[in-house]
Amino acid sequence: MTRASGARTLPVALAVLFAALIFSSTAAAATIDVKPKRDGAIQKAIDKADRGDTLLIHEGRYPGAIEVTKKLTLKRAKGEKRPVIDGDCETAYPVDIKSNGVALRGLKVVGAAEGFEPFPSSVNFTGIATGVVDDLVVRNPCGSAEYGINVFQGGHIQITDSNAKGFEDSGVYVGAIADTSRGPLVISGNVLDGNNRGVIVEDSSGVDIRVIDNELDDNDLEGEGVPAGVFVHNSDGTLIRKNTMNRNGEYGILIDSGSDNTLLVGNTAKGNGTAPLLDEGSGNCGKQNSFPVPAC
């Protein structure tokens, strides 16, 4: 009788302990207000914050680059103007993500410039497995940044409802993606206009990359390559669905000879300089597009 009673009591005790640990972990997360009252305000807040905290960024200009070295959320304060993180043309990466699980929401990032590191980008994810970019505005006032948002050797990164304009290579770049086991890499709901290319998917096969419901118009900026809404280079199995790709300099979609089994569904491409689609690969197919595509 005593043994049976103990068997019932032990799991209850463990459950209480486990619940307490969860509550303690949740309670430890804090919201930290950040205001542009001193130089390096955001970086100082990042350095002091604990993993899982939220930095509430108030309106104003924040000069200087930041490195996000732990899992944090950086977001605009509710009801305020979009805060501006400005690299002042003195860095390749005004926002450099160095940790998994970082979320950026409602910010504006400017001021990347070449001459400091390769591939200057407003927001840089290199070797990062998970992350979120939502409702960001990225610009190229220095005139030499290649990418608005750069994802290199990354994984389950979600880029949503953001706007990139004026970049010499592309508004969003994803390249050398090798592992999306934690979830797909998603580029969705963005307005990527006035760049050389809206989106580049490069050197990525055997992974889940989805380019969905974006406005990829007027990408005719003279820059690194052939202007297009989407450029798929040396990548297999990319999903391109329900995007608009109008008035781009050369092509709505350019798929090169090293890119196969691209799935094109429900896209619209009109008024592009040369053609809505240039398909140099094999097995690329789809349906319900505004231009001819082989059926799958």
**How far, in Å, CA of 165 to CA of 124, rounded?**
16
Mean of pLDDT over the chain: 92
Q: What percent of the chain has pLDDT over 90?
A: 86
Does a structural domain hold residue 17?
A: no
At residue 19, φ and ψ (nearest 5 deg) are -60, -40
Question: Is 252 part of a structural domain of the chain?
Answer: yes
Write down the pLDDT at residue 116.
87
236 pLDDT exceeds 90?
Answer: yes
Residue with tokens 């924040």: 62
Q: What percent of the chain shows pLDDT beyond 70?
A: 91
Q: Which structure tokens are listed for 163?
A: 């706007």
| Structure confidence at residue 28 (pLDDT) | 73
Q: Is the dihedral of CA 179, 181, 182, 188 positive or negative?
A: positive
Which of 216, 227, 110, 124 lies closest to 169, judged by CA?
Answer: 227
Evaluate whether residue 4 is within a structural domain: no
Phi, psi of 45 (to 5 degrees): -65, -40
In a domain, 16, yes or no: no
Check residue 224 and give its pLDDT: 85
Q: What is the pLDDT of residue 4?
A: 30
Number of independent structural domains in the chain: 1
**pLDDT of 3:** 26
Residue 144 belongs to a domain with what CATH number?
2.160.20.10
Task: Evaluate whether 32 touches 62 at the Cβ level (below 8 Å).
Answer: no
Assess contact for 248 and 229: CB atoms under 8 A.
yes
Query: Residue 56 pairs with which residues in a beta bridge?
Result: 33, 75
Confidence class for position 172, pLDDT limits 50, 70, 90: very high
Question: Considering the domain boundaries, does residue 22 fall inside one?
Answer: no
Highest mean pLDDT among 24-28, 37-41, 143-147: 143-147
Residue 20 maps to a domain: no
CA distances from 105 to 49, 78, 142, 289 (A): 17, 11, 23, 32
Q: Residue 19 above 60 pLDDT?
A: no
Looking at residue 148, what is its pLDDT? 98
| 293 located within any domain | no
Contacts of 24 (CB under 8 A, 6+ apart): none
pLDDT, residue 27, reads: 55
For 77-125, how does the pLDDT look when each residue is reduced to its tens digit (9 = 90+)?
A: 999 999 999 999 999 999 999 999 999 999 999 999 998 888 999 999 9
Token output for 222: 């003279």
- CB count, 10 Å around CB of 111? 25
Please check whether residue 292 lies inside any domain of the structure: no
Tally of residues, the chain: 296
Report phi then psi at 97, rounded to 5.
Answer: -90, 125
In this structure, the number of other CB atoms found within 10 A of the CB of residue 67 comes to 14
Long-range contacts of 176-179 (CB under 8 A, 24+ apart): 176/152, 176/202, 176/203, 176/204, 177/151, 177/153, 177/203, 177/204, 177/207, 177/209, 178/153, 178/204, 178/206, 178/207, 179/129, 179/155, 179/207
Instruction: Give residue 117's pLDDT.
Output: 87
**Tell me, what's the pLDDT at 18?**
47
Average pLDDT of 180-190?
A: 98
The domain of 141 spans: 31-287
Highest mean pLDDT, choosing among 3-12, 34-43, 127-136? 127-136
Residue among 229, 211, 87, 223 at smallest CA distance from 160: 211
What confidence score (pLDDT) does residue 130 get?
Answer: 98
- For position 23, what pLDDT does the model report? 44
Q: Is the pLDDT of residue 163 over 60?
A: yes
Q: Which residues pair with 275 in a beta bridge?
A: 251
**Torsion sign (Cα): 65, 177, 127, 49:** positive
